[in-house]
Amino acid sequence: MGIIIAILLFSFIIIFHELGHFLLAKANGIRVDEFSLGLGPTLIGKKIGDTFFCIKLLPFGGACMMGEDDTDDMSEGSFNSKSVWARISVIAAGPVFNLILAWIFCVILVGATGYLSTEINAVSDGYSAQEQGLQAGDVIKEINGRNVHIWEDVQLYTLTHPDDTPYEVVYERDGTEYTAQIEPRQLEGDTSPLLGVSGGNYERPGFFGTMQYGFYRLEYWMHYTADSLRMLVTGQVGLKDMSGPVGIVTVVDDVYESAAPAGLLTIVLSLMNFGTFLSANLGVMNLLPIPALDGGRLVFLIIEAVRRKRVPPEKEGMVHFAGFALLMVLMVVVMFNDIMKLF
């Protein structure tokens, strides 16, 4: 069951990404040659107008083919015949649509379940928070300059910034803000250093509050992706901690099995929460300046906009080819790790 749900969920997210490219291409009068879901040989397809819509054999990935690599094609409706700003909007639309989809998921989740506030429920004995005078009812506003809006923000920052201590915590009490320096402490029986506070009261906002906290929840997932990538680059986590398609299937199966006893609504909301992570992750990663991905293409387009002159296609092509090769190597390593985790 897990593999079917994972394919459907991932396919929907990929389609939404490619839909962003497609709609902005059409809005800018750019011809789209092929809109596909999956990779490899074509299983079924139909040409509608100038575009061939199809489903391919391997159910991972997708494409909106606009001839962007054919730099010699300057015919009417071709990608490269359009202004640099039109091309930037088309390339950026994919990851932006992923972030929009993630926000829609977040709004639905906040509307259905509410959100966990940053109000402290209890302060534990023996920890730095108690010594610094924090009390139940205080509302945490910032940690080391990063705004926190939901309790998951607090948990994420302490998890991904273990060395940035002591934490400068800004909290509010009776309408007045105070600052405390809190050093996580590991007491007997603890598995890791703790702040010594617990919190997370469920709040149910109104309509506009749901829109707002949907954005805060999206912001959390964007921070999650960025912080995870930073920890990977700095060596705080290794490649063995990454997951690819096999790992995603395993997680989806676990999410489904744990939510199934609670009923269909819980299954849908749980899978939507994981879909939020996937869509936000795809959006953020595709905005980073990584060759062969949308962000890498945006870098060259921005350089063109600043210089008012295109980067030589052969040089750009070499960079994207090298980036693609490295991504394929990384994918193989990640899939190998995923498979090894099964045994």
Instruction: Using alpha carbons, list the distances in angstroms from residue 165 to 97, 143, 181, 195, 199.
Output: 36, 10, 9, 11, 20
Tokens of 289: 């300046």
Judge contact between 38 and 62, C-beta under 8 A.
yes
Show Cβ contacts of residue 10 under 8 Å, excluding neighbours closer than 6 positions. 59, 60, 245, 248, 278
Give start and end residues of each alpha helix (H) in 161-293: 207-233, 245-259, 264-285
**Residue tagged 């350089």 (tokens):** 303
Instruction: Using alpha carbons, list the distances in angstroms from residue 224 to 160, 172, 280.
Output: 9, 25, 9
Show Cβ contacts of residue 288 under 8 Å, excluding neighbours closer than 6 positions. 229, 295
CA dihedral 103, 107, 110, 113 (to 10 degrees): -110
Active site residues: 18
Q: Tell me how far apart the alpha carbons of residues 245 and 299 are, in angstroms, rounded to a whole number.
A: 28
